Chain A
């Protein structure tokens, strides 16, 4: 907050002292953005009037505020990168940037920020793009209220909506991203905050973390992506109150965790995904107060997952609640609500008197021979599941929820 205030004050002061406005329009004395930037002094404001500006390779090399009035169109004519920011304290507001060039050797972006601090990119609309907003080795920036609409068809020749690379302390809020490769992609980016974004119908992931630590993402919606969120090789990430919906397909997950340690997953909703959460090599993660509704597999544990705890989650009408592929269990399940629980509560304390076994023998069989999925909900399967429940042979016998809730967990 302090940083924000200082930053705003600096801009405000700067503006008061010697900032001036430069207007850009087709009939003005300055008719292109490039020209305006060349004429401007530090901390000037450039106002771009409504119209179409066919420009690309616009380099912003001094602290400027660029404001578009009524969404002027910056058309890159598919020739390459459109706006590159290489100075600190640049603000871009209200532009409509279209037609970024596609390249197989260079990542052309609609707006790129390179080695700069304190940038603000807001109310920008991007269409027909390769990469959208590309932040490269830049810190303390804000990306607010942008709309990125791609038309990606294949993974190899499409780019990401918002990409962060070696950039820390970035805030990404209220953005809408659809039809790109990865909606939002973070690589080597720490301490970022991602809030209230909507990322849908992307080819690969709605949100993708690689080697990024201490990030927070909250209240986002991920719908109908190749996979909702992939979190890989990262530490201490907080995932709070997000919604993961309808990520369907053979390799589709609501959330994919791979080599994640010490994360918190709290208050999320996973609905109608083929796999709610797929966990691989992830340790010390707290899953609390999440809703798993109508998923194929609510949680699929692939292996090398230790000391995770699942507390007070609701597992509602999933085809499989938990699936394990080994007999070893080091994770804790406690006080969850399982819609498949058939026990009773004689002492009326709201906790079932019989422990619940979330892993079914059938899920073990399906892991081994996937085609057997066709026998789901058959009477024979119910019988063998029951016998396995009575005396576990193939599934981990200490994998129990000792205190299954009788009523849905509320928080």
Chain B
């Protein structure tokens, strides 16, 4: 598995797209800092970008990589190798190279700007951690989609739909549900609703750091326990881990059964 991971990783490192991705984040970081002159505000803007863009790029890139390297995969399948190790290797190769572009691309301008001396370092590291989590989750989901669809166009379609669903539509439906049932106690429902969507979950995680004073404005014991203590942070992280595990497990499961 490690060998395949290495090959995928080096392959991607040589590819143009990793550099484009890296350059994009680098540019974003530099421009944000240049325009804002303020670390904490830049962190808020970055949060918006990361929560929307990282999943999009993760899904598209994952699907793209899978279809592009299909011939190589078939070649590998002819070798005496375990199937999970082939697919997990490829998956980790993609996810890690994307995460690296993200971390380096955003990290470099912020470090040069004096991140280590500022109070925003914790917010920023939290941002990067959620970014990495989102990459892991959405690349895995992309691999799932690609494994289930032989047709490339369909695969891409589903990938974009998945992103659209989780990034925008889900929140719309969620909001409508909350407004519709506003006469009922909703704090548990709203927390569960957040847990079910990795994008919402990462957003909440960052909100816990940035907007804690607003979140405490709502009167609800469950909310208060969740947001007022470290409990929320711990639960959010564990659910994120579950969100990585589930699609990865399905990659393993699916790859074992799939007929090539």
Chain A residues with CB under 8 Å of chain B are 248-252, 272-275, 294-297, 317, 319-320, 339, 365, 368-383
Contacts and interface: CB of A to CB of B under 8 A. Distances in A.
Contact of A375 (B48, B171, B220): B171
B214 A375 contact: no
A373 to B, nearest CB: 5
Contacts of A294: 213
Interface of B: 40-41, 44, 47-48, 51-52, 167-169, 171-172, 174-175, 178-179, 182, 186-187, 189-191, 193-194, 200, 203-204, 206-207, 211-220, 223-224
A272 B213 contact: yes
B47 A380 contact: no
Given A371-B187, A379-B51, A319 B171 contact: no
Given A368-B179, A369-B182, 14 more contacts: A249-B216, A252-B216, A274-B213, A275-B217, A296-B211, A365-B179, A372-B175, A372-B178, A374-B204, A376-B215, A377-B206, A377-B207, A378-B203, A381-B171
By DSSP majority rule, is chain B's interface helix, strand, loop, or mixed? helix
B259 to A, nearest CB: 39
The listed residue with most B CB atoms (<10 A of its CB), out of A248, A294, A375, A382, is A375
A297 B215 CA distance: 10
Contacts of A273: 213
Nearest to A362: B175
B27 to A, nearest CB: 20
A278 B127 CA distance: 32
12 contacts: A274-B216, A275-B217, A297-B214, A368-B179, A369-B179, A371-B187, A371-B223, A372-B175, A374-B194, A377-B47, A380-B169, A380-B172
Given A274-B213, A379-B51, A379-B52, A250 B207 contact: no
In the A-B complex, the 10 residue pairs with the closest CB atoms: A296-B214, A380-B171, A319-B214, A296-B213, A371-B186, A250-B219, A369-B182, A370-B218, A371-B190, A319-B211
A294 B44 CA distance: 12
B138 to A, nearest CB: 15
A296 B186 contact: no
Given A368-B182, A379-B167, A374 B190 contact: yes
B168 A383 contact: yes
Nearest to B171: A380
Nearest to B185: A371
Given A369-B182, A371-B190, A371-B218, A378 B171 contact: yes
Nearest to A316: B41
B201 to A, nearest CB: 11
Given A365-B179, A369-B178, A377 B48 contact: yes
Nearest to A369: B182
A380 to B, nearest CB: 4
A218 to B, nearest CB: 25
Given A376-B211, A377-B203, A378-B200, A296 B48 contact: no
B186 A376 contact: no
A376 B200 CA distance: 10
B171 A295 contact: no
A177 B16 CA distance: 64
